[in-house]
Amino acid sequence: MMTFHREGRSIMIGSIILFLGLSALNYYLLASSIYWLFLFLEIGFVILLYLVIQFFRIPKRDCIANPMDIMCPADGKVVVIEEVEETEYFKDKRIQVSIFMSPLNVHANYYPISGEVSYTKYHPGLFLVAWHPKSSTDNERSTCVVKHSNGTEILFRQIAGALARRICYYAQTGDTAQTGGEFGFIKFGSRVDLFLPLGTKIDVKIGEKVQAKLTKLGTLN
């Protein structure tokens, strides 16, 4: 079973209207004179409409996790697992796990753990490609920190890219987070970074394809 995200409603409606208009114009101008070109363009319009609509698909998934599990917040591929200095909130060493979301991935983002939202902040910025070394600090992004009941805090960050031009986030400080509950959406993909305590057991590896709410990233200490 699959639904479509509310963030895509206006874009999908606009795309369908544009598709119908272009198809009608294409039929009027080319169908009776240059049929092969009419067919070629019509197939192209259908493919473009499909690509836009599939950006906003939301497959039905049940998140089954133990209380100490860190679940994947986004669909995509693991592109970074390394020790870094987190400079915005913790201001100390953390394990960064980054998930790259391609235009073909599901783009909704979900809480990786349960707890209380202890920090949120939106940062306007640039739109560098997601793999650029400065995309984590210079691009448009949102930061959220959830404090688990055992006192451990995890920071996760939505990062816009060259194609993604709109970050949507719903988490507010003081909210109760539930593992697998939706906290945001990145229109047309990009990247989600997680910053975990040193010593966290990581269950994924670089290059691995992961799924939001289904893939276990690691375990809290």
pLDDT in tens, 23-49: 999 999 999 999 999 999 999 999 999
Residues 119 and 38 in one domain: no
**Short-list 116, 131, 111, 107, CA closest to 51:** 107
| 114 part of the active site | no
Write out the residue range of the structural domain in which residue 67 sits. 63-219
Least confident of 120-124, 125-129, 161-165: 161-165
**Using CB atoms within 10 A of its CB, is residue 35 exposed (0-12), middle (13-18) or buried (19+)?**
exposed
Instruction: Give the domain-ending residue among 58, 78, 100.
Output: 58
Instruction: Give the domain-ending residue among 35, 58, 81.
Output: 58
Which residue shows structure tokens 């119908």?
20
Residues 90 and 177 in one domain: yes
- Cα dihedral across residues 109, 113, 114, 117: positive or negative: negative
Tokens of 127: 């739109």
Selected catalytic residue, list 15, 136, 142, 190: 190
38 to each of 16, 25, 32, 86, how far by Cα in Å?
Answer: 18, 10, 9, 54
The pLDDT of residue 140 is 85
Residues 86 and 193 in one domain: yes
The pLDDT of residue 119 is 97
Residues 160 and 184 in one domain: yes
Residues 130 and 51 in one domain: no
How many domains in the chain?
2
Q: How many CA atoms lie within 13 A of 112 on its CB side?
A: 33
**Short-list 183, 180, 127, CA closest to 157:** 183
